[in-house]
A and B are shown apart, each in its own frame.
Chain A
Amino acid sequence: MASTIEGATGTWEYVIGLEVHAQIVSNSKLFSGASTEFGSEPNTQVSPVDAGMPGMLPVINMTCIEQAVKTGLAIEGTINRYSVFDRKNYFYPDLPQGYQISQFKQPVVSEGRLVIEMEDGSEKVIGIERLHVEQDAGKSLHDQDPSHSYVDLNRSGVGLMEIVSKPDLRSPEEAAAYVRKLRSILRYVGTCDGNMQEGSMRVDANVSVRKPGGELGTRCEIKNLNSVRFMSRALEYEALRQIDILESGGKVDQETRLFDVGRGETRSMRSKEEAHDYRYFPDPDLLPLRLEQELINGIAASMPELPDAKRHRFMAEFGLSPYDASVLVAEKENADFYEAVAEGRDKKLAANWMISELFGLLNKAGKGIEESPVSAAALGELLDLISDDTISGRTAKEVFAEMFESGKAAGVIVEEKGLKQVTDTGAIEAVIDGVMARETQKVEEYRSGKDKLFGFFVGQVMRASGGKANPKMVNEVLKKKLDG
């Protein structure tokens, strides 16, 4: 779903490429044995390697490489069996070595792709140029002291995957869908927890504008967008800013900009103004990384089912709608929960209950699926009670609300509250007879052709049964009696 912008001189389109930095799930850092845990006291997870102490040397954490390969396979990339670690040289207080170990010319993964689905159900393939492994920097705090910055190196050296898309994205919506999809995949394969708030996933966006199909414009890089919402806002603001410049005859400067969340604007980054000259060269402390085909094959064999495959299976085998399938597969935990509920049951019924009832209550309670007070088995039991006509769908909603509240099992609630559906024909006939006897006038009207009154009778019967009469049976018997 490309979206365009109407400017004074005509229509403009977005050209967006994203660089996503995803923190690799690992116990220890990329090149040292310090912990990667989030939120510890400053400088308590720093080895002398991470602090750039004299004489310290990096040793690669193989798990981080395996995680990168796994991710590379998940984005259908080419795994390069020979890749090289380079040093990217620049000075910054949170970069203790004075260089970042990264991969420049020969990344571990190249040429991948990812399919995004838009709200209108359309799909689009977004190219991924590369995935490389690099070290994270430490953290500088600027607002603790008026004239000083504070530096914490706990993050210094944590393994990151930088995943660089091609400039294939044509709207903030597409960019958002890309980030959400990538996050979903990373979480499926367990290589990044995708937690944007804690900075486990950070996005830099390259944005330019052009007349549709025209020459590419000059791009600006917007740094450190730490939520999908901020990213969309930043992209919209930045495109308008560039269009204003171009339409007033100006020229866009290629530069790095920072999104100011408070003001909703992007602004030029002073510290990055100076021309970049990173002086990349292969890190002489490390040898080239050679991967055995066997290792790659082993990782490929252990790959879990990915969201796209799962979505197609839910549609093809379970008959779910594209929308329902997309919603259910977005988070692996949801998909797993759903499959547990749907196992041996009506797939569509299970999907409906997950999406409209369970997600509804979870959202309202601000809880994730892993905190759901109703387990997959408990929800399954409820669905069984619907399927075997023990309770009606309407009653089931009440029971479910109670389950969510109290954590009690569905059967217990039905029993305690006497909600069991009446399926005895005799009992239902008696109720219907009672209603017909009371509403003789309406019976006459119905029989003289006012068909619409059928619904009125159903309602009366259900009310008289305290909602417990089986609606299907009520329909059948009522029809027979009224018409008879």
Chain B
Amino acid sequence: MTPTDLTIAQARDLLAKGEISSMELVEAHIDAMENNRDLNAYITETPEKALAMAQDSDARRAKGEGNGLLEGIPVAIKDLFCTADTLTTAGSHILDGFKPFYESTVTTNMWRQGAVMLGKTNLDEFAMGSSNLTSYHGPAINPWKARGDNRARVPGGSSGGSASAVAGRLALGATGTDTGGSIRQPAAFTGTVGIKPTYGRCSRWGIVAFASSLDQAGPMTRSVRDAAIMLRAMAGHDPKDSTSADIAVPDFEADLDKGVKGMTIGIPKEYRSDGMAPEIEALWQQGIKWLEEQGAKTVEVSLPHTKYALPAYYIVAPAEASSNLSRYDGVKYGLRVEADDLLSMYEKTRAAGFGEEVKRRILIGTYVLSAGYYDAYYLKAQKVRTRIAEDFHHVFGHVDAILTPATPSAAFPSEDPPSDPVSMYLNDIFTVPVNLAGLPGMSVPAGLSGEGLPLGLQVIGKAFDEATVLRVGRAIEQAADFDVRPEGY
């Protein structure tokens, strides 16, 4: 088997048996990265660092020490995580040349568990987007193509580079971040697995902030088991993040294969209402059937405020972002457009440094927080958010997990994205409520669209019950037996 085709679990076992070295794994990936630069999955490749880390890992193993969860495993890091002395761009022009002297907690945890960094992956600028088209470094490309259609497809976003790298066999796994669907939507678009854990499960320290009350890091992998392994390595309480949960991280792999027998799975009726595409509806029904066949009970549940999640999100997220992105002002790091006076320096720097979507969101956020509008927009949206969280809370009184489609469609062509901002925002219609309620959600590949593009199902769980989410995801994965891969990768 080609090293780049392995899952993390397989690579782990081969490494343990001494049948492959971390060096071999890394070298194979470096080759794959060089050969597939057309995917534009990476903004920065760090082959030298990867080789050095692999060498260290192999040395540890030789001494009988290397027993980390990700020992010797080459992974890609979304370029939203600060990595010490390595360019960190957030997909933006405004962070030009920025090399932090600190390392994010999540990546620190992963290196401590023996992982090896291949490079930093492409993303929508400041994680704002569902297509990867807003990256200053050019769009990442989805390895998948529709049948009989050679047009490049978007890998989704914002973690599009990570999705593309994992689907294109350019990394065994990758980190993503998810504010409104930024792990799950690209996972669905690329036939990969992506889990956004409960808010507070992974530390946000050292991750460039988009919307602080919604941002969460999570793994993107080619199997549910890999997601379980990687999440465990990433997660954990961090005293440097006041919103990090002081809750023990379980061995997510332990109960992975215990099945769904006896579980109750909620099927929210409100997710059906918005003129759902027939093939998405069919996929969902198929998912329900798979779970029932494995002994789960499915019940219709109601999440009445679902339709208000997206508009509430598009107030809360831009408001927080407008404030979080104020620090990019040309004074301390990154781009500066020189001017004679301070105000012009600020205005020119930020006009040149931010792309259109980021500007749009900063301006919306500025507006909804401004004097006279705060109550009507921001406060109202936070109240609606309480309603949405209550909806989930009620439902989780009697179900173990919720099953929905991950996205309303398959990946669209890069050259033909939804024409206006609101249509683009609708990509996240199924994923956004989960962020607003802070719950764990996972996208699992479940089938192909009529055009031959991957589609995903979403499993939503109770707070800090990622174990159940993964278990349900594993059941779907087994039933779906999704073994197709993008042609040529």
Residues of A participating in the B interface, judged by any CB pair closer than 8 Å: 48, 51-60, 87, 89, 91, 93, 96-99, 147, 149, 151, 277, 279-281, 284-287
Check if A57 sits within 8 Å of B323, measured CB to CB.
no
Q: Which residue of A lies closest to B366 (CB)?
A: A279
Q: B486 at interface (Cβ–Cβ under 8 A)?
A: no
Q: Which residue of B lies closest to A285 (CB)?
A: B212
Q: B386 at interface (Cβ–Cβ under 8 A)?
A: no
Q: Chain B 162-196, CB within 8 Å of chain A: the 1/0 string?
A: 00000000000000000000000000000000000
Interface of chain B residues 312 through 333 with chain A (CB within 8 A): 319-320, 322-323, 325-327, 329, 331-333
Question: Which residues from chain A contact B444 at a C-beta distance below 8 Å?
Answer: none
Q: B354 at interface (Cβ–Cβ under 8 A)?
A: no
Question: Which residues from chain A contact B355 at a C-beta distance below 8 Å?
Answer: none
Check if A57 sits within 8 Å of B205, measured CB to CB.
yes
Check if A54 sits within 8 Å of B82, measured CB to CB.
yes
Q: Which residue of A lies closest to B213 (CB)?
A: A284
Q: Which of B98, B243, B331 contacts A151 (CB 8 A)?
A: B331
Question: Which residues from chain B contact A91 at a C-beta distance below 8 Å?
Answer: 326, 329, 346
In the docked arrangement, what's the CA distance between A321 and B205, Å?
59
In the docked arrangement, what's the CA distance between A58 and B340, Å?
33
Q: B85 at interface (Cβ–Cβ under 8 A)?
A: no
In the docked arrangement, what's the CA distance between A95 and B86, Å?
26
The size of the chain B interface, using a CB distance under 8 A, is 44
Question: Which residues from chain B contact A151 at a C-beta distance below 8 Å?
Answer: 331
Q: B208 at interface (Cβ–Cβ under 8 A)?
A: yes
Question: Which residues from chain A contact B204 at a C-beta distance below 8 Å?
Answer: 55, 57
In the docked arrangement, what's the CA distance between A454 and B56, Å?
104
Q: What is the count of residue pairs linking A and B with beta-carbon distances less than 8 angstroms? A: 100
Check if B240 sits within 8 Å of A57, measured CB to CB.
yes
In the docked arrangement, what's the CA distance between A97 and B208, Å?
13
A98 and B332 in contact (CB under 8 A), knowing A55-B205, A59-B240, A277-B371? no
13 contacts between A and B (CB under 8 A): A51-B332, A53-B100, A54-B95, A54-B333, A55-B204, A56-B206, A59-B240, A59-B241, A91-B346, A149-B342, A279-B323, A280-B369, A281-B369
Q: Which of B95, B242, B366, B370 contacts A57 (CB 8 A)?
A: B242
Check if B242 sits within 8 Å of A285, measured CB to CB.
yes
A59 and B369 in contact (CB under 8 A), knowing A54-B208, A96-B331? no
Q: B374 at interface (Cβ–Cβ under 8 A)?
A: yes
Q: Which of B208, B239, B346 contacts A59 (CB 8 A)?
A: B239
Q: Which residue of B lies closest to A49 (CB)?
A: B240
Check if B378 sits within 8 Å of A281, measured CB to CB.
yes
In the docked arrangement, what's the CA distance between A281 and B367, Å?
13
Q: Which of A56, A93, A96 contacts B205 (CB 8 A)?
A: A56
Question: Which residues from chain A contact B81 at a C-beta distance below 8 Å?
Answer: 55
In the docked arrangement, what's the CA distance between A441 and B211, Å?
104
Check if A284 sits within 8 Å of B211, measured CB to CB.
yes
Check if B342 sits within 8 Å of A93, measured CB to CB.
yes
Q: B33 at interface (Cβ–Cβ under 8 A)?
A: no
In the docked arrangement, what's the CA distance between A89 and B370, Å?
10
Q: Which residue of A lies closest to B347 (CB)?
A: A91
